[in-house]
Amino acid sequence: MDFDLSEEQKAFQSLAYKFALKEFPPFAQECDRQERYPREIWQKACEAGLVGIAIPEEYGGPGAGWMETALITEQLSRIDLGLGLAAVAATFGAENIINYGSEEQKKTYLPLLPAGKAIFAGAYTEPNAGSDVAGTTTRATKDGSDYVINGSKTFITNGTICDYMVALCVTNPESPKKTQRHSLIIVDANSPGITRMKIHGKMGIRASDTAEITFEDVRVPQKNLVGKEGNGFYQLMHFFDQTRIMVASQGLGLAQGALDLALKYVQERKTFGVPLAANQAIQFQLAEMATRIELARNIIYKAAWKADNGQLDPSLNAMAKFYAGETAVWVTDKALQMHGGYGYIDEYDIQRFYRDAKILEIYEGAKEIEKITIAKRLF
């Protein structure tokens, strides 16, 4: 069993970390305070080759795998989760085109992403259908050669700044099976009838754009159907099985970044005449933080390796996402506590890490959903 990364993987890892160290600090506080999406970061990440790395070479990407995706996501999230999302989530939703799109769709849309010419979004979640994906009610009705879409979505990453979105819609409402009523459809985000409203006041990842979207008689060509009509639910479940590796890597990176901040602070901060790092209670806490992070890293890397080797494991991916999210929340809590009152002030980065961490237990499948996925496969 070989746990060493390849030279190419180490290069991706190093590139992402050096990029984040250089580019993120000038924007992190500003974008958090102003809830501003950092287009500058997105453009530079595209130029650096950090966007769309899973896109095959024939469509303009490097054709890297889930291990490389995990490594890049981890290192960007280590410096700032919100800014990291500007790079790793710029393709969100387009993975469905890689998996199920026609050759024409792949040639049309995929090259735009690594070139910095377009941002995608996945329009899946609805006000009354979050974890219950099959409960989605947005309707796409055939009319001539078009679909006419009506409905609403919420909590959509990149919702107000995307150029295209892959929307989950009901296309086969009469199907006796609830899971065979939906399809995925590529939608031009600037189509007439689309209203996009930015969601303000988020607890964390405030640099990442999140929106509510309303469709009112939005016309989309039927050729924009992704894969087979009625297969949208299953396609989306496969998509989540894959992208949970990416979200787990966000938790890993954020937890490592919080540990980095804690290690720096306890060596600089003195109490009772000695550095905090000399306190054995602090040392024990740091040791447990490092141990949990390493456990998360191992399960995530294993999940990514299996995905790249044709052994995608939904249960393992759910374990990785569930455990990494909890680890991020736990580690940032301990790291902030070590900062004392200073950790409660926004001048210190640890408070932003603390706020950002909670979303990792909620989006891309709440941790309770991950537990259901795991439990179902135990019997």
Which residues does the annotation mark as catalytic? 364
C-alpha 318/C-alpha 374 separation (Å) is 7
Determine the angle formed by the axes of helices 66-79 and 280-308, rounding to 10 degrees: 150
C-alpha 82/C-alpha 369 separation (Å) is 23
3-state secondary structure of 116: coil
Q: Which of 110, 122, 95, 115 is nearest to 189 (CA)?
A: 122
Q: Which amino acid is at 189?
A: A
Question: Which of 296-300's residues contact partners 24+ apart within 8 Å by CB, and which partners?
Answer: 296/248, 296/251, 296/252, 296/255, 296/320, 296/323, 296/324, 296/327, 297/74, 297/252, 299/248, 299/323, 299/324, 300/70, 300/74, 300/245, 300/248, 300/249, 300/252, 300/324
Question: Which of 27-30's residues contact partners 24+ apart within 8 Å by CB, and which partners?
Answer: 27/83, 27/207, 28/79, 28/80, 28/82, 28/83, 28/207, 28/349, 28/352, 29/346, 29/352
Per-residue DSSP letter, 263: H
The radius of gyration of the chain from alpha carbons, rounded to an integer in Å, stands at 21
